Amino acid sequence: MGLMSGKCGLVLGVVNDYSIAWGISEQLHKEGAKLGFTHLPDRDPANPKMSRRVSKAVEAFDPQMFVPCDVQIDDDIDKAFATAKETFGTIDFVVHSIAYAPLDDLKGPVYKCSREGFKTSMDISVYSLMAVCRRASELMPNGGSIITLTYLGGERVIPGYNVMGLCKAALESSVGYLAHEFGPRQIRVNALSAGPIKTLSGSAVKDFDKMLEMYNSLSPLRRNVELKEIGKTAVYLLSDMSTGVTGETLHVDSGYHVMGAPHTDASTEWEFPDRTRRGTAKRPFHEPETAQRRTRTTFVREACVPSYQQAAYVTAKRIGIAVVEHAGHYLIGLRGPDVPLAGYSEFPGGKCQESESAEACAVRECLEETGMRVAIERLLLRHVHEYPPALVELHFFLCHPECDISLAGSYLGFRWLHSTQLPFLQFPEANQQLLKLIAREAVGRVPRIF
């Protein structure tokens, strides 16, 4: 019998298996909870990247329901909770892990935030909690627990957090009012203030890596919080272990929020994780951050990985990418609005499944994303790249179609472009070395394997 045995509820906000909502779901599932999930609707139903990604992330949690829901659309929220009623009858808890700000408004100073950007940020990050609580309360006749995710930037000024800090301040204030209003019905509303975690949304925050470094050095525990620790604390707030707790903002940040000044042992030196060797590197506290950071990309030769890079190389997430070529043309798509680097050009590919080879992953992802079966000719390039929210090991394979194709055709949004057109497109940084190799081949030189 787990702490959540016999309980059921909804989780809103899982994007992938790096999401805080995913970490919470993992712990809830371990404790016996029955879970339902929502996902952001796909703009192109013919190419459901978002639903497919989230479905893969939560499949191990035996989801009882899985529905699209855009919290800016009331009908979507109504349909999601109608499905929950049909599935569960009543629910015991809700996890609200949703926040968003337009990138231009998030990256810039608060005083430059646009009116529309501010409205959008508050609508999705704050009002959505109120809208969700209203529907959830109707399915909680015997009481229940609702949690939302916040961050210290809602209480104090955190440089780089910008307009999202304003949103979190409003969110935490709304938690108190909601707790007051739902209290007589024994519905508890709390906020969980987590330390910085490398998630999809976190990768959009300016100087996010600096936040991680500061927590490692300045928090009382001298480390950053782990995803499973946030998940376990969420279980506490959602279970009967916390029936007397409501209106609370509970910090899970290794104690960082209590500090008013650096430790005396951190006044001259700051400790940073260093992926280029085992252990921790000590650098002067005053050294400019740009001078102390490693290069973002480490190229790895096929048969010779330097020993000092092996730790980083082994722990990297593997990505299989199909570089599909036909008659000097390459199959190219655009990254959707619901993923990092939205609008950038891309080759078909994605994260390898457990025990799946990079070659098999590239072929599978190409089939899923474009509907085209391909055969691999050879490995073009392999390298490790810091690509938020993780360190990734990218494998680019030169592939060719296994069926007849039309260069004028479109394949689930992917289209054929001649190699001479590629330099004029905007690709992610991790693709730049590959593009140089393609350019070499275009003028008759055969690329080597790196």
Specify which residues 354 forms β-bridges with. none
CATH number at residue 310: 3.90.79.10
- Does residue 108 lie in a domain region? yes
- State yes or no: pLDDT of 296 exceeds 90: no
Out of 49-63, 199-213, 267-281, pick the least confident.
267-281
- State yes or no: pLDDT of 313 exceeds 80: no
Same domain? 169 vs 306: no
Choice between 196 and 211, residue whose per-residue pLDDT is larger: 196
Same domain? 313 vs 360: yes
> CA–CA separation, 432 vs 105, rounded Å?
28
Distances (CA, A) of 158 to 151, 199, 388: 10, 18, 20
Same domain? 38 vs 117: yes
Residue that terminates a domain, selected from 210, 241, 258: 258
Q: What is the pLDDT of residues 150-189, one digit of tens each?
A: 999 999 998 888 999 999 999 999 999 999 999 999 999 9
- Does residue 280 lie in a domain region? no
**What is the pLDDT confidence band of residue 390, given thresholds at 50, 70 and 90?**
low
Supply the mean pLDDT for the chain.
Answer: 82
Nearest-10 crossing angle of helices 163-182, 115-122? 40
Helices (H), 192-333: 208-218, 227-238, 289-292, 310-315
> CA–CA separation, 185 vs 192, rounded Å?
21
The catalytic residue positions are: 151, 161
Out of 171-175, 297-301, 311-315, 383-387, pick the least confident.
297-301
Mean pLDDT, range 28-50, rounded to an integer? 91
- State yes or no: pLDDT of 334 exceeds 90: no
What does the block give as tokens for 49? 């990247």
Same domain? 212 vs 354: no
**What is the pLDDT confidence band of residue 413, given thresholds at 50, 70 and 90?**
confident
> CA–CA separation, 447 vs 450, rounded Å?
9
Same domain? 317 vs 170: no
Same domain? 103 vs 159: yes
Q: Give me the percent of the chain exceeding a pLDDT of 70.
A: 80
Q: Taking the CA atoms of 108, 114, 115 and 121 in sequence, report the sign of the dihedral they define.
A: negative
How many CA atoms within 13 Å lie on the side-chain side of 208? 20
Mean pLDDT, range 283-290, rounded to an integer? 36
Same domain? 385 vs 328: yes
Q: Are 253 and 193 in contact (CB under 8 A)?
A: yes
Mean pLDDT, range 231-248, rounded to an integer? 97
- Does residue 106 lie in a domain region? yes
Which residues, 6 or more positions from 115, have their beta carbon under 8 angstroms from its beta carbon? none
Q: What is the pLDDT of residues 430-440, one digit of tens each?
A: 888 888 888 87
Dihedral angle over CA of 201, 21, 166, 144, nearest 10: 170
Mean pLDDT, range 131-143, rounded to an integer? 97
- Does residue 288 lie in a domain region? no
pLDDT of residue 389: 55
**What is the pLDDT confidence band of residue 385, given thresholds at 50, 70 and 90?**
confident
- Does residue 392 lie in a domain region? yes
- State yes or no: pLDDT of 337 exceeds 80: no
> CA–CA separation, 321 vs 347, rounded Å?
7
Q: How many domains does the chain have?
A: 2
- State yes or no: pLDDT of 293 exceeds 50: no
Same domain? 356 vs 427: yes
> CA–CA separation, 219 vs 216, rounded Å?
6
pLDDT of residue 57: 92
- Does residue 292 lie in a domain region? no
Pairing of strands 269-273, 249-252: unpaired
Same domain? 254 vs 303: no
- State yes or no: pLDDT of 276 exceeds 60: no
Choice between 430 and 290, residue whose per-residue pLDDT is larger: 430
Degrees, nearest 5: CA angle 303-308-310: 55
pLDDT of residue 234: 97
Q: What is the pLDDT of residues 85-126, one digit of tens each?
A: 999 999 999 999 999 999 889 888 999 999 999 999 999 999
- State yes or no: pLDDT of 202 exceeds 80: no
- Does residue 137 lie in a domain region? yes
Instruction: Report which of 389, 413, 382 is spatially closest to residue 319, judged by C-alpha positions.
Output: 382
pLDDT of residue 315: 52
Same domain? 147 vs 50: yes
- State yes or no: pLDDT of 301 exceeds 70: no
- Does residue 263 lie in a domain region? no
Residue that terminates a domain, selected from 230, 258, 286: 258
Same domain? 127 vs 75: yes
The pTM is what? 0.61
Same domain? 197 vs 53: yes
CATH number at residue 70: 3.40.50.720
**What is the pLDDT confidence band of residue 216, given thresholds at 50, 70 and 90?**
confident
* Domain span holding position 301: 297-442
